[in-house]
Structures are given as C-alpha cells and as structure tokens.
Amino acid sequence: MRVLVVDTYYPQFLEEHYRNPELEDSSYDEQLAALMARAFGTSDAYSTELRRLGHEAEEIIVNAMPLQEAWAREHGMRTSLILGTASRLPTKAGLAAAQALKSRIAMAQVEHFSPDVVYCQDLGAFAGRELAAMRERGILVAGQIASPAPDAARLRCFDLICTSFPHFVERFRALGIASEYLPIGFDRRLTGRVKERGLDPATQATRDIDVSFVGSVDPRVHPSRVALLEQVCRKRPIAVYGSGIDALPEESSIRGCFLGEAWGLSMYELLARSRITLNRHIDAAEGCANNMRLYEATGMGAALLTDNGSNISEIFEPGVEVELYDCADDLIDQIDLLLTDDERRGQIARAGRDRTLAEHSYSDVIDGLSGILRDYC
C-alpha cells in the first residue's frame, strides 16, 4: 500500500520552531528533517513503521506553511503571489487566503504521492469537498481521533475512523461509520535520543524533578484538569510545563508552579528527569484510559500517577506498573507515599517502562493499523 499520513501541529509549537529565521529558507527535506528531529506528537513514527512493514509511506504536516511552501516551490507549483502575500495578513481575508493556500498545496501533495490511503491524524485537515474528491478517485480516506468528536456530517466524510477511545467505536458504528479501535503507543527510538543528551530513562538515580505535569492548563479547554491541578499545586510543589498559562486567572496556584512550555524532545527530557509524573485524561475520554502521556511517561521511566480509568487494567497493571488516583486528596497522598518510598517508586517506574517497551510501542500499534488498512482497502 501507498499511505500518506497527514498531520497538523500545534500553532504554538510551530511558532516556536520557526523562530530560527534561516529555517524558512531551507529546502523541504531539510525543514522536514528539522521538524521530525523535534519529536513532536507522533513525529514520523507512523510512516517509519509502515515502511518497515513494506508499505510506501510519507508524512506531511499541512499547517507548517514554510515547509509546505518549500514543497510547492520545489515541485514547480505556482502559488499566486497575491495569495501568498495575503495569507500572511492577520485579517479575515488573510486567514481565508492562508486556508486556501494550505489546501491547494496539500491537495497537490496527494496528487503527487498518488496514495492508496490518506490517513488523517487531524479530522479537520481537509475540507469535506476535498475528502469527497479523494474518495471519488478510489483513495481510502481514514482518520484518527482521540479528542472531542466533530458532528456526524464531518465523520461521514471518512471511509474509516480509528480511535483510541473504546467508547467511540460503537458510537461511530451506530451512525453507520466504519470504526476500529487503535491504541496510541511509544516511539522506542526516543530512548536512544534522550540518552544522547545525557539522560538514561532506565534509571531513577539521576532524576532531579520530584513531580512533574506536562500538558495544557487552559481552563477553557480542560476545566476538570485545571481544577485538579489547582488543588494539588496549592499543597505540593509540582513542576508544571505546558501551554495555556495566559488563560489562567492571576491568583491561580498553577502559576506559581509553572516553568514554561515543553514541546517534543524537550518534553521527553523532562519526563526522563522526573521521579513521578502526573496524568489527567480529557473529559472526552469519559473515564477511559487512552492518552499519549501513559506511554510517553512510562517509556521515559517516570513513575506514572494517572487517573483511574475503566480500562486501565487492560493497558497497565495498577499498583505494579502505574499508580492510580481518584481525586485531588488521593493524588496528594499518592505523591507523598511514592516520594518517601524510593524502592517502590523505582519498581513501578521500571515495570511500567518494561511493559511499554514490550507491548505498547509504535511497532505494535502500526502492525495493527497495517492489518486494519489492508482489510478496508
């Protein structure tokens, strides 16, 4: 199969990444390599593992516009100078021009690669008419979601939707939409990459951060998570990294614990420095355990304290490979217990890491995805 993996990156991360003024003038391959080196999101794990299985696969990041414009230049694609200039204006017309330019280049990439499958990590990466045009050409249009679901009309634009939310599978199928369960995983290459930076995910000895939390703290997006962190940060010195700090009220206890943004490889380094790291699922998880932090944290050898999910025992053994909490007071008690018991904390961290490396890597995930895609093609 020829699989084109389509992704979008957080605008905050892209803004930070492209602060290097020379990067925008680099070639497409150089820019893509620089982005993949940051290890943001799933990076190139999907295409790498698909190629390992004998498929032809590429990744495109459709909202990284300097990258996309470099592709357009190198492939002789004529993007209107007016459109390109307008797309940089902070106006409604500028936003419309930016969207038009993004769509034009992304569709040209689909045409150029001629895939059997377009696999969208962001269900909003293409307009409905663009997805329909792909399907009319016989391309299997698949999407992946682990966030609040869009409306049924958008979901029906896809031939297949994969999700790490078990409850979404039957919900989508009830709407007449083909759906399959696909968990998230860990990129084992990251172990070597953090070792190159002097950190060993296999040991607890050199960790200088007692307790960390990495993720969005925007109360408009994650009200339950923020409420929990507010209670914990009032009582314990948690090292908080992430985005959304500007949306917090000035009196927020999280502000006193906030240490900045952490993206990609920098985030993995923080996890590799953490004795304990906290996890809280988004409300859309509806009590299910599924998110990337489960695997990122355990893969980096941190002792993971995560909210109690109805399916957590299918992923990790509670009390052995991860530790669970039910509320803020319980979480604080668990933090105190783990910090004072080095032996138990180390045992949980090692067992969690061993489980992730053995069963939850992207090698395992993409083996499953390959079979799913073959069944639907």
Write the secondary structure of 330-361 as one string of H (helix), E (strand) and C (coil). Answer: HHHHHHHHHHHCHHHHHHHHHHHHHHHHHHCE
Instruction: For residue 148, give both structure tokens.
Output: 């609040």
Q: Is the pLDDT of residue 262 over 60?
A: yes
Segment holding 265, helix H or strand E:
helix 265-272
Q: What is the CA radius of gyration of the chain?
A: 21
Instruction: For residue 152, give both structure tokens.
Output: 């049924």
Q: What is the pTM of this model?
A: 0.94
Residue type for 242, please? G
Mean pLDDT of 332-336: 98
**Count of residues in the chain:** 377
Largest CA distance in the chain: 64
Rounded Cα distance between 369 and 41, Å, is 17
Instruction: For residue 39, give both structure tokens.
Output: 């290890």
Residue (of 141, 183, 201) closest to 6 by Cα position: 141
First to last CA, the chain: 9
Q: ∠230-283-155 over CA atoms, to 5°? A: 150
Quickly tell me which residue has 């992730």 as its tokens: 356
Strand 323-325 and strand 56-61: pairing? unpaired
Rounded Cα distance between 201 and 114, Å, is 40
Rounded Cα distance between 136 and 138, Å, is 5
Strand 179-181 and strand 160-163: pairing? parallel
Domains of the chain, each with CATH number or no CATH = 2-185+362-376 (3.40.50), 189-359 (3.40.50.2000)
User: 95 by DSSP, 3-state: which?
Assistant: helix
Quickly tell me which residue has 């002097």 as its tokens: 198
The model's pLDDT over 96-152, given as tens digits with 9 standing for 90+, comes to 778 889 999 999 999 999 999 999 999 999 999 999 999 999 999 999 999 999 999
The model's pLDDT over 51-98, given as tens digits with 9 standing for 90+, comes to 999 999 999 999 999 999 999 999 998 765 445 554 555 566 667 778
The pLDDT assigned to 86 comes to 47
Sheet with 209-214, strands from edge to edge, namely 239-241, 209-214, 274-279, 303-307, 323-325
Rounded Cα distance between 228 and 189, Å, is 33
Rounded Cα distance between 287 and 281, Å, is 8
Mean pLDDT of 142-164: 97
The model's pLDDT over 193-218, given as tens digits with 9 standing for 90+, comes to 999 999 999 988 889 999 999 999 99
Mean pLDDT of 182-197: 96
Strand 303-307 and strand 323-325: pairing? parallel
Measured in degrees and rounded to the nearest 5, phi and psi for residue 67 equal -65, -50
Residue (of 315, 241, 311) closest to 278 by Cα position: 241
